[in-house]
Structures are given as C-alpha cells and as structure tokens.
Amino acid sequence: MGEMTRVAVFADGKLGFLAQKGRGREAVLALPLSRLLVRLVRTPPDHAGDATALAADALKKISPYPDETLAVSCEQVSETVSGKLVLAAALPESAAEDIAAALDAAKLEVTRVDAWVLGVLRELWGGIEGAASGRVRRLVLLKEVEGLALFVLDGDTPSAIRALADTTELKRAALLALLEAEDFGGALPLREIVTVGLEDGPAEAALATLGEVRRLPPPADEGLAGLLERAADPQALNALPATWADVLRETRTKRKLVKFLAVAGGIWLVALAVLAGVPAVYAQMTARQRAASRSQARAYEQVRDKKNQVEAVRNVSNHDMGALETLRLVSAVLPDGVTLTKWNFKRGDILALDGTSETREGVYAFKDGLAALKLGEASGKEDDAETPFFKHVEYRGDLRQRNQKFTFSVDCSFKDAEEDQ
C-alpha cells in the first residue's frame, strides 16, 4: 500500500493525519488502545477453524455494551502444541459516535481500524528487543495521546495487554499485568522494563522497584511506518465495525457505478438518463443507514439503563443469592485440601473462583459439589428445593499442576447458557 495509504488518527476528540496523501476519500484509522476492546485469547489444541467465536465471547464479557453485536477481528501471534494465541479486538459502535461524526465531517471512508500503539510497537521492535533476544520477559510501557498502553512480552509474544488512563497506581497495574502474564504464559523472570515517551520521574521511580528501567524515544513519524506495514498485512487486526464496512461497500459500489456511467455515457445515452439518479439514491441510503445506526445505539443505551435500574431494585430486595449467602454455600461444599485463592462475585451474573488442591480428585469433588447446590438451601422455599443454585458450572482453562499442587479456575454462572449468548 505504501504511499497510497492515507492514515488518520483520532485522539482527545480530534481527527488528525499521520499521512495525508492517499487514494480518494479512503483511509486507515488508528485509535488509542483505550478506545478498543482488546483481549488475548488462547484456543484449545483440538479447536478447529478460526478463533472468532471464542474471541467474541471473551470480548462480550468486558464490553460495556453487552447487547451490541461486535465485529470481532483476530490476529494470530503464536501457535504451539497447546493451541493458538490470538489478539482479539473490536470497536463498539455505541462508543464510537464521536469518531463517526468526525469522519463524516472530514468526508472520510475508513477501510481499516487498528490500534495506534501496535504500529509504534512494530516500528520500535528492534530497539525494544535489543541484544537480549529469545524468550525474555519484558514489561513495555508506551505513552499514548490518551493514557498509556502496557504490554508484557515473552520474547515477541504478548502475555498481557492493558490500557491505563494515567500513571496513578502504575506500579499496581504493572504487578497485576505481570501476574496475569505468569498465569497466561508461565513463570519467567522479569528481564527489564522498557518505557517509550514516558516523561514522569515518580512513575519511573515506582517502576524501578520492580526491575531495571530502560528508556526509548518515540518514533519520529509517530508510528506511521509500523501502521503502514500492518495495513499491508492481511493477517493484521482490522476492528472495522459492521455498519462502517457496509457503508464502505456501498460507497465503493456507487463509485464504480459512476465510473461506468461516465465511460459508457457516449454509447448508452438512454441508459445514462435512467441510471443517473442511482448515485444519489445510494447516498441517501448511506445517510439513512448511518442515522438509523446512531438512533438504535441511543435506544439500546436507554433500554439497557432501564433494565439495570429494575435489576438493581430487585437485587437490593432479595438477599437469597447475595455474596454472603453464596459464600456460605460454597464454603459448605469445599473439600479438605482445597483452598480458594481468588473470589470474583457479580450478583445475578457469575461467580469466578480460582484455587489450589492437593489432589486432582479434590478439584473434581469441589466442582461436583458446586453443581449440586440447590436454590432452596438459600431461600428456604420448598418450591426451590430442586432448582440448581448455579445454572451451569464449568472449568475456565486447564487444570495445572505447580509445586505439587493442582491450580484450577471455575466459573459458576447464575444465567442460562442462552442468556450468556
């Protein structure tokens, strides 16, 4: 694509350009990491096909717009005997109305949506890797126009990705990212911390307590070369929302039609008279589709807010499935030798548990005990005696053995499988 690609960026509520020269009104759009939903997803070894369905489920859990269907894009970063590792991303249309308005004002049609920081990371990779190549764990912190992007890299493979609003509690965020990387990619010593464009003495001093800090200057072209390389790579992320893709297809169709009519105008004068209004019709259809998309996004937000209000009132008046009652029931089925290390409770949605067990059988017994819990044990009602307390209980990830103990993760959902979709 090279010089023929126009690269636009949107940050701090403003639309700008890293490369103005391009073809027509089309452009690649680069966004700060905080504007995208991003998650690393590992597929099972026996998984057939692409990872889009698994990635969609993972992104839906962290999306602030659970009712919106996401156009998920996946970029494979590694493949081993334990499965594929993909970087999944999506741009919720409900959170991108300001971006769409700025693109309409500039009369731009977006062909790709990428994370700005990934272009910077690709361009600076030689300096980040340095002389220590191979599977070395690094914590890389890059200053963006909106906040910061934090990566934990094992060699050239990411094990954790986070977007930070500012340097407040930076050390805590770094520790959490390193713990996530250890759980995701295994135990590795931290070789160094690399900062790019961070001019914050207290923040760097806090990072220095975790390991050696090395500074790198940001690229002079603000990551343009890296973004152009990614734009030319068909396997790279493209988090283009579905509605934007439809508009792009319609616009390209309209342009082809106009060009055809111009070439055939001298020969097909009658056909030209009939079809001359088609571009205007396409333009009206495009405008109506954009307006309908924004109207539906606002309607979705209103319905979601009302639903949340009703759910909050109902939850406040019902303690049967509260955190304390759930803790009591879970503790009652906890076998000897099983210890819980993490408890993440979201009322009416999910209870996520992490723990260790001295035996593999202890883990199985604990999962079976959770699945056997009845709602009547909490409510005391006879009608609930045969109703399961959890709608379904399943392992999250594989059962791992470490330090002569088995480490496990279990998700207990309060919703039916159909409700989770």
* pLDDT tens for each residue of 155-208: 888 999 999 999 999 999 999 999 999 988 888 999 999 999 998 999 999 999
Collapse the DSSP code of 90 into the 3-class scheme (helix H, G, I; strand E, B; otherwise coil) and give the result. Answer: strand
Task: Report pLDDT for 412.
Answer: 93
Tell me the residue length of the chain.
421
Which of 140-144, 211-215, 245-249, 337-341 is the least confident region? 245-249
Residues in contact with 288: Cβ distance below 8 Å, sequence separation at least 6, in sequence order: none
Closest by alpha carbon to 192, among 131, 137, 149, 229? 137
Q: Which comes out higher in pLDDT, residue 22 or 96?
A: 96
Which of 116-120, 208-212, 313-317 is the least confident region? 313-317
**What single letter denotes the amino acid at residue 28?**
V
**Statement: residue 151 has pLDDT above 90:** yes
Q: Roughly how many angstroms between the first and final C-alpha of the chain, as a whole number?
A: 38
Residue 134 Cα to chain centre, angstroms? 27
Taking residues 331-359, report their average pLDDT: 91
Q: What is the DSSP letter of 275?
A: H
**Statement: residue 244 has pLDDT above 80:** yes
Task: Report pLDDT for 2.
Answer: 42
CA dist., res. 114 & res. 40, Å (int): 16
Query: Per CATH, which fold does 131-218 belong to?
Result: Nucleotidyltransferase; domain 5 (3.30.420)
**372 φ, ψ (degrees, to nearest 5):** -85, -10
Task: Report pLDDT for 1.
Answer: 40
Query: Per CATH, which fold does 323-420 belong to?
Result: Gyrase A; domain 2 (3.30.1360)
Query: And the tokens for 253?
Result: 């169709």
Q: What angle do CA 9, 11, 16 make, to 5 degrees?
A: 40
The bridge status of strand 392-395 relative to strand 350-357 is unpaired
Q: Calculate what percentage of the chain has a pLDDT beyond 70.
A: 86
Closest by alpha carbon to 160, among 109, 239, 214, 87? 87
DSSP assignment of 286-333 equals HHHHHHHHHHHHHHHHHHHHHHHHHHHHHHHT--TTSHHHHHHHHHHT
Please say whether the dihedral angle defined by the alpha carbons of residues 328, 330, 331 and 332, taken in this order, is positive or negative: positive
* pLDDT tens for each residue of 16-52: 888 766 656 888 999 999 999 999 988 888 877 778 8
Taking residues 74-94, report their average pLDDT: 86
Query: And the tokens for 346?
Result: 């979201």
Task: Report pLDDT for 204.
Answer: 92
Task: Report pLDDT for 47.
Answer: 77
Beta bridge partners of 42: 85
**Statement: residue 5 has pLDDT above 80:** no
| Average pLDDT value for the chain | 84
Which of 23-32, 102-111, 255-264 is the least confident region? 255-264
CA dist., res. 230 & res. 10, Å (int): 18
CA dist., res. 106 & res. 26, Å (int): 11
* pLDDT tens for each residue of 48-80: 777 888 888 888 888 888 888 888 888 988 888
Highest mean pLDDT, choosing among 95-99, 247-251, 268-272: 95-99
Closest by alpha carbon to 65, among 90, 85, 45, 28? 90
Q: What is the dihedral of CA 351, 354, 359, 361, to 10 degrees?
A: 20
CA dist., res. 421 & res. 66, Å (int): 9
Task: Report pLDDT for 130.
Answer: 76
Residues in contact with 401: Cβ distance below 8 Å, sequence separation at least 6, in sequence order: 407
**389 φ, ψ (degrees, to nearest 5):** -70, -45
Contact 320, 387 (CB under 8 A): no
**Statement: residue 295 has pLDDT above 70:** yes
Beta bridge partners of 8: 17, 29
